Amino acid sequence: MDKVKYVNIDGRDIPVEGEKNLLEVIRKAGIEIPTFCYVSELSTYGACRMCMVEVEGRGLQTSCSTLPEAGLKVKTNTAAVRQIRRVALELILANHERDCTSCVKSTKCKLQDLSRKLGVEQVRFRAVQKPRVVDEANPALVRNPNKCILCGDCVRMCGEVQGVGAIDFAYRGHEVVVQPAFGKNLYQVQCVYCGQCARVCPTGALTPKSETAAVWRALQDPARTVVVQIAPAVRVALGEAFGYQPGEVTTGKIVTALRMMGFSKVFDTCFAADLTVMEEGNEFIRRFKENRALPLFTSCCPAWVKYVEQFCPEMIGNLSTCKSPQQMFGAVAKGLFSREMGIRKEDMVVVSIMPCTAKKFEARRPEFRIDGAAEVDHVITTQELAQMINEHGIQFRDLQPGSLDLPLGFKTGAGVIFGASGGVMEAALRYVYEKVEGRTLESADIREVRGEAGIREAEIILGGQTFRFAVVHSLANARQVIAGIKSGERQYHFVEFMACPAGCINGAGQPVSLDQDYARSRTSGLYGADQMLQLRKVQDNPYLKELYAERLGEVGGERAHHLLHTGYTARRRMKGKSMVIVDGQAAGKLEIRVCVGTSCYLKGSQDILHHLAQYVLVKGLSDQVQVKATFCFEKCDKGPTIKVGDKVIGHCDVNKALAAVEQAVANGAGVTGRP
């Protein structure tokens, strides 16, 4: 048995029990060390210097990057430590846009909190940075570089956990800034709008884009009937904004608050989640029988869908054609339920309350429009709902619970657990089991797909056949699984993907929690709500049965497919102009474009680009030929792709590219007066 190690913290011996750094040991001792750049789920960065402590024999050390060795003697509050923290904080504040009273992060800003705790009342240093343009071009996030403190949390989250790399550090010295590639905005690059960068941002540099003003306008328009849907994960997190513990279900109070605000009907996205399971479960069974387009990928997460469109478009055919629950709800509410309410669908406004920032982007996709009008008009996050409740002056804790409206407010437990990683898969399996086995599933709990690991696998025997499933959360894990599927190392029939770590309960629109186990508590809250419901399988939902019988017809049939299904196409990762590789005027030249988007890049386009540039230089063709790197021909499944003049060449390699250029030059392309 290993001997317990101790570290002496301010005169007390504290045992080391698996902590990965000195910072965690100190916090276990009940001492809160300030940090900006330390997030336990990310790599250690050690840039902000706020966590400095004095270690006997070593002097000042960053506690986040110091191993907890036995026998260390640490002081956390010496004069030198306090001084360096205050100076570091003042230097950060000097270049920070300090409009705290109007900042969306006010009262929840870590910079504001530490300034108060450390007693920083004035800033002695002058700013050296000029104000930068605020990026509001996309529908999901606002990026304000003037509030960035360069902690790097967003960069590491986007690169390490999500594997996207949409933002990074640029420039040097006092000019350094965090921004998307080539100085573009988030709308122009490969951002999938998951918002996890905003979740870990300690200031107001990255925040969800608010739609509360638009929702207030709709509510106050007498010509509009405004209905609202509440996503599963919202009910176990909103209460945190009003002093409840993570995981406490506050659905009833939410309903009452929404009615007080003026919403005509308060519905539940869980009803649409039940509907999604019916359609997606049926789609899976059909694909399995036909042995085509497997494994089936879930399509409920819009950040994941955009990731597939950009990074692995050759697998778009594996995506379920089912719309997400949010969009299914909008389609049913406007396409069918508006008639029952006796109003024109043009006069109905559908508002979604979501834990997710990518849902804002999803609602604006052209695929999700009915006769030119959006299925979902506005998406507000859990944070925005809390803001609206406070704006209205509603005393949330004093509210009596209300009931959701029927029929779109009725749900089963299967719809409720959609908000947790593994919930979509479990809900689908509760349906698939009875369809394949032809008998009742006695226990609705399918624990094989539950857990916290980023990649979980399960095998279940149904109808005498072995089905292989996987549950994946965070996009870096998704990249790993996709690579395994392509290589044949991983073989599944059905895979659930969610972009956010732990699923929707940890979406970027949820309240920021300081509780170490908040994600686990929220997940537990959803499964607890599922256990409390009498009906836990979608096929038992009476209002769903009625919807199919009276409006949709057969599950997966023509009417249902028209209203509830969609399709996706390859999407460019980068918008804007191409990069010129060989200088010179383009007029009269043969133009060669090489796609360097991720899909083509991984297949060797960079090598092609290099050889073409060298070929032009060596052959002395700079006056006739111009080589450019471009970002997408939207033919990612045929990559690497190049364009020589007007001719697009897919599945290209160096030899094909050089041959095409030689042929074009031989035919006179690029020579003045010749095509």
As annotated, the active-site residues are 280, 283, 300, 320, 359, 362, 367, 504
Q: In what order do the strands lie in the sheet with 590-595?
A: 579-580, 625-630, 590-595, 642-644, 647-649
Is the peptide bond preceding residue 355 cis, with omega within 30 degrees of 0?
no
Contact yes or no for 602/479 (Cβ under 8 A): no
What are the tokens at 91?
A: 């230097």
Q: Which element (helix H / strand E) includes 465?
A: strand 465-473
Q: Helices 251-261 and 382-392 sit at what angle, rounded to 10 degrees?
A: 50
Residue 43 is which amino acid?
S
Please state, in angstroms and rounded to a whole number, the distance separating the CA atoms of residues 199 and 252. 27
What is the rounded radius of gyration, in angstroms, for the C-alpha atoms of the chain? 28
CA distance 261 to 230: 15
Residue 614 CB burial class (10 angstroms; 0-12, 13-18, ≥19):
exposed
Query: Other CB atoms closer than 10 Å to residue 264's CB: what's the count?
Result: 17
d(CA 129, CA 108): 25
Helices (DSSP H) in 412-474: which residue ranges?
Answer: 413-416, 423-437
User: How far is it, in rounded angstroms, from Cα 475 to Cα 192?
Assistant: 10
Which among 37, 39, 43, 69 has a CA at the least distance from the CA of 55?
69
Q: Cβ(97)–Cβ(146) under 8 Å?
A: yes
Q: Report phi then psi at 86, rounded to 5.
A: -65, -45
β strands within 96-242, DSSP E: 141-143, 167-170, 177-180, 206-208, 225-230
Q: Which of 527, 529, 513 is nearest to 246 (CA)?
A: 513
Task: Give 578's DSSP letter.
Answer: P
Distance of CA 189 to the CA centre of its chain: 15
CA distances (Å), origin 241, targets 110, 113, 295: 16, 17, 40
* Residue 526 identity: L
The answer to whether the CB of 578 falls within 8 A of the CB of 609 is: no
The C-alpha atoms of residue 227 and residue 498 are separated, in whole angstroms, by 27
Residue identified by tokens 């009276």 is: 550
Classify residue 160 by its DSSP letter: I
Q: How far apart are CA 311 and CA 164, in angstroms?
A: 9
Q: Do 649 and 642 form a contact (C-beta atoms < 8 A)? A: yes
